[in-house]
Amino acid sequence: MLRMKIAFVAGAAVGFVAGSAAGRGSYEKLKAQTVKTWNDPKVQEGIQNAQQTVREQAPVVAEKGKVAAASGVDQAKAKAEEVKANREEKKADKKAEKLAEKAPADVVSDPAAAMEDEGPANHRR
């Protein structure tokens, strides 16, 4: 967003200079105003304050970035493990279904069934 504003201001300045009938005079006037503004003690103080703030906050921001990156890595690993476990569970379910389809019809395959109920389907009590 800031780049767009700077580009717009720069474009407006170029357009002003290029489109001005007095061309060079307008350019010199604009240049003098820019230099005057840049050299203003309040502007320079603001620039120095901003630079100092960046110097002070850069390590804090860098540390927060490291922590956030590490957290992201941990979350990605956890999600990968979850996906892997789900994939393995689905694979085991499919394998069990195939085995159940191949099992003879007279085999009781309900693990909740009592032991005396096991055996041929037509031999139940």
Quick check: 105 and 121 in contact, CB under 8 A? Answer: yes
pLDDT in tens, the chain (125 residues): 767 777 787 888 777 766 665 567 777 888 899 999 989 999 999 999 999 999 999 999 999 999 999 998 899 999 999 999 999 999 988 888 888 787 766 655 567 777 677 665 544 44
Angle at 107 between CA 103 and CA 111, to 5 degrees: 100
Considering the entire predicted model, what is its pTM? Answer: 0.40
Q: Measured between alpha carbons, how far is 101 from 18 in angstroms, rounded to an integer? A: 84
For 33, other C-beta atoms within 10 Å of its C-beta total 10
DSSP string, the chain: -HHHHHHHHHHHHHHHHHH-TTTHHHHHHHHHHHHHHHH-HHHHHHHHHHHHHHHHHHHHHHHHHHHHHHHHHHHHHHHHHHHHHHHHHHHHHHHHHHHHHHS-TT----TTS-GGG-S-GGG--
